[in-house]
Structure 1
Amino acid sequence: MTVTVFLGLVAAALLGLGFVAQQHVAYTEPLGEMLHVRLLFDLARKPVWLAGIALMVGGQVAGALALRRADVASVEPLLATNLIFALGAAALLYQERLGGTEWLGAVLVSGGVAAFLVAGRPHGGGMPASGSLAWIAVLVVVAVAAGMVAVALRMPLQTKAMLFAAAAGALYGLQDALTRGALLTLARGPGALFASWQPYALPVIAVTGILLNQSAFDAAPLRISLPATTATEPIVGILLGVAVFGERLRVDPPALAGEVGGLVALVAGIVVLGRSPFLHKSEQGPNGRPAAP
C-alpha cells in the first residue's frame, strides 16, 4: 500500500504541474478554437504546452503503475490531490506565500483522501464477468460527458468552461478504469490484450478528454477550469471500479459515514483550492485578452 500511495502522489504531482503548463498556453488561444481539433495542432507547436503534455503522460504512467498494484477506488482519491501540486506550482511561479485559503484546501483534500481510504478500505475486484457490462459503463460515461458538452454550448463562457472541464474529468475517470482493465487483461498475455477492446478505446477516450480539457483551459482561468476536472475524475473512477470491476468497500454505518465524509471533504477542498488567488493570476492573459467573469 505504501508503494501505491507513493506512485499515486507522484502521478498527482506530475498531473498538477502538467495542467498548469497546459492552461498557461491554452488560455492564449482564440476562443473560436474551442472543441476544434486545430486547437490541439496549434498548441502542439508551443514548447511549454508540449512540456505540460509530457508531464501529464508521466503522471498517467505513474498512475498506471499504481493501478497495476491496487484497485481504481484506492488510486483515484490520490490522483485528486493534483490540484494541491498545481497550486504549489502557481505559488512558485508568482513567488508568493500560501495563505489560509490554500492551507484549508490542502487539509480538506488530503484529509478527505485519508478518510476515504481508511474508512472504505477498497479491496478485491477483477475483470468483469461479462464484457457487456463494461461496454454499458463506457456508454453511460460517454453519454454523460456528451450531455455536459451539449448543455455547455448554450451557456455563458464561465459555465461553459466548467462543463467542458467536468466532461473531461469524466473521460479521465473512464480512462483510468480502462487502463485498469487493460492491465488486468495483459496479465493473461499480450495476445489477450490485443484481442480485447480496451487498448483501442483508450486512445480515443484520452484524446477526446485532452481536447475537452484544453477547450476549458482556453475558455477560463485555472481557478474555473481545473477544479471541475479534478473533482469529477475520482468520482467517476470510483463508481466504475465498484460497478465494473467488482471492487468492494466497507458498508457498515461507520465506514459509510467516513467514506461519504471523505469524498465531501475532497470535493470541498478542491473547490476551496480552486478559489485560491494564486490560480486567479492566470486570468491576466497576454495581449490584453479579458478575463472570464
Structure 2
Amino acid sequence: MLENNAVAVVFALGSALTIAWGTVVRHRIAVASGENRSGAIWDAIKQPTWWVGVASALFGYLLQIVALAFGTLLVVQPILVLSLMFTLPLSAKYDGRRISASETAWAGLLTAAVAILVVRGNPAPGHREPDLSVWLVCLGIGAVILLAFFVYALQQAAALRALVLGSITGAIMGYVAVLSKAVVDVFSDAGTAALLASWELWTLIAFAAIGTAVQQASFNAGPLKNSLPAMTVVEPLVAFVLGYIVLGEKFQIEGWEYAYMAAAIAVMTISTVILSRKSIDEEEASAAGGANHTDTEAAPNAGATGAETAAS
C-alpha cells in the first residue's frame, strides 16, 4: 500500500477519538454500577451502552491498523496518545462540568509535543521485512526483562505492584503496536494466506492476550492512578525504541535537532502522566458524588423506617 503520512494522521486521529469516546462510555457505566460492589461487572455488561463502548474500542483499533497501513509507526503512535486529551472534554461533557485551566494547558502542551514529533520529525518509512534475527533478539530480551519485573511485582505491596504491572502492560502494548505494523505490512505485501501463515500474526495475538491479562492484574492490584499513567507513558516509548531498532524507522533530523525532539518526547511523557492522573481524579470525584447522592437518598428512608418501628 502507498505510504502517505497525511492519510495516516487522519485515521490515527479518528482512532484516538473513537478510543477516547469508548473509554468514557465504559468508565461512566462502571461508576454508575459501583466499581466495588459485588456483581458490578455483570451489571455493566448487561447494558447495551457498554457493548457500544467495547465496539468503539475495536473500531478504534481497526482505524489504527488502517493508519499503520498508510504511515509509519513513529507517526501513528504519538497521535494515539492524544486519545487521553480527547477523553477530558468528553468526560467533562458527561459530568456537566468545564475543563479546568490546568487541563487545557497540559492538553495544549501534549498536542504541541505530538505535532513536533509528527511534523518536524517527519519519520521516514523503515523495513517492510525486518530481519528475523533482530526480531528474535528484541523479543527474547524483552521477555526476560518483563518476566523479571513481573516476578518482582508479585513480591511488592499493592501500590508498587500496580505501578510495576502497569509499566509491564505498557511495554507489552508497545510490542503489540510494532507487531501490528508488521502484520499490516505482511497483509499488504502478500495477502490473507501469507498473513495466516505468518509468525507475526500469532505473536501479535499472544502478546495482546498476555497484555490484557497483565493489565487486569494491574487494575486489581491497586488504585487506577498507580497503574494507568505508567501504562500510558511506557507504551509509546517502547514502541518508539522498537520502531527504530526493528522496523528501521527514523526521524529525519540531524545535529541539534535531536535536542528539541528529545524535549518534545519529554513534554509528551510528562503531559501524559499529568493528564491521566487528572482524568482518574475526575472519575473518582464523579464516583464519590454518585455515592454521596445515593447516601442522601437512603438517609430519609432509614429515618422513616426507624419512626415506624418506634411507633409500633
Tell me how far apart the structure 2 counterparts of residues 170 and 284 of structure 1 sit (CA, whole Å).
32
> What is the TM-score of this pair, normalised by structure 1?
0.83
User: Which one has the largest radius of gyration?
Assistant: 2
Query: 5 Å matches for 1:1-293?
Result: 1-22=5-26, 25=30, 28=35, 49-186=50-187, 187-276=189-278, 277-281=281-285, 284=288
Tell me how far apart the structure 1 counterparts of residues 164 and 286 of structure 2 sit (CA, whole Å).
19
Asked if 2 retains the 8 angstrom alpha-carbon contact of 1:169 and 1:229, the reply is: yes
Q: 1:36 aligns to what?
A: none
Asked which structure has the greater RCO (Cα within 8 Å, sep 6+), the reply is: 1
Q: CA deviation at 1:109?
A: 1.1
Q: Secondary structure at the match of 1:253?
A: coil
Q: Deviations over 1:18-63 (max 9, x none)?
A: 33445563982689xxxxxxxx999866755544332221111111
Tell me how far apart the structure 2 counterparts of residues 139 and 49 of structure 1 sit (CA, whole Å).
37
RMSD: 3.0
Name the amino acid aligned to 1:123.
A
> What is the TM-score of this pair, normalised by structure 2?
0.78
Q: Deviations over 1:116-159 (max 9, x none)?
A: 12332211212344212112222333334333332322333233
Closer, same or farther in 2 for the Cα pair 1:260/1:57, shift >3 Å?
same
Name the amino acid aligned to 2:215.
N
Asked if 1 retains the 8 angstrom alpha-carbon contact of 2:95 and 2:286, the reply is: no
More displaced, 12-21 or 178-187?
A: 12-21
Q: CA deviation at 1:196?
A: 1.5
Closer, same or farther in 2 for the Cα pair 1:163/1:84, shift >3 Å?
same
Asked if 2 retains the 8 angstrom alpha-carbon contact of 1:250 and 1:256, the reply is: no
Closer, same or farther in 2 for the Cα pair 1:184/1:197, shift >3 Å?
same
Closer, same or farther in 2 for the Cα pair 1:224/1:20, shift >3 Å?
farther
Closer, same or farther in 2 for the Cα pair 1:82/1:214, shift >3 Å?
farther
Name the amino acid aligned to 2:12.
G
More displaced, 207-216 or 64-73?
A: 207-216
Tell me how far apart the structure 1 counterparts of residues 26 and 141 of structure 2 sit (CA, whole Å).
28
Asked if 2 retains the 8 angstrom alpha-carbon contact of 1:113 and 1:266, the reply is: yes
Q: Deviations over 1:255-291 (max 9, x none)?
A: 2112101111101111221232424436649989xxx
Tell me how far apart the structure 2 counterparts of residues 269 and 57 of structure 1 sit (CA, whole Å).
26
Q: Deviations over 1:63-107 (max 9, x none)?
A: 111100111111110011111122223212321111122112201
Ranges in structure 1 where 5+ consecutive residues have no aligned partner: 32-39, 289-293
Q: Deviations over 1:150-185 (max 9, x none)?
A: 232233323322222222221221111111111111
Closer, same or farther in 2 for the Cα pair 1:284/1:214, shift >3 Å?
farther
Which is richer in helix?
2
Asked if 2 retains the 8 angstrom alpha-carbon contact of 1:112 and 1:262, the reply is: yes
Tell me how far apart the structure 1 counterparts of residues 288 and 66 of structure 2 sit (CA, whole Å).
37
Tell me how far apart the structure 1 counterparts of residues 90 and 26 of structure 2 sit (CA, whole Å).
13
Closer, same or farther in 2 for the Cα pair 1:45/1:214, shift >3 Å?
farther
Closer, same or farther in 2 for the Cα pair 1:282/1:177, shift >3 Å?
farther
Asked if 2 retains the 8 angstrom alpha-carbon contact of 1:222 and 1:274, the reply is: no
More displaced, 220-229 or 277-286?
A: 277-286
Tell me how far apart the structure 2 counterparts of residues 150 and 13 of structure 1 sit (CA, whole Å).
35
Tell me how far apart the structure 2 counterparts of residues 65 and 134 of structure 1 sit (CA, whole Å).
23
Tell me how far apart the structure 2 counterparts of residues 120 and 145 of structure 1 sit (CA, whole Å).
30
Asked if 2 retains the 8 angstrom alpha-carbon contact of 1:128 and 1:246, the reply is: no
Asked if 2 retains the 8 angstrom alpha-carbon contact of 1:222 and 1:279, the reply is: no
Tell me how far apart the structure 2 counterparts of residues 207 and 272 of structure 1 sit (CA, whole Å).
28
Name the amino acid aligned to 1:78.
I
Tell me how far apart the structure 2 counterparts of residues 218 and 51 of structure 1 sit (CA, whole Å).
24
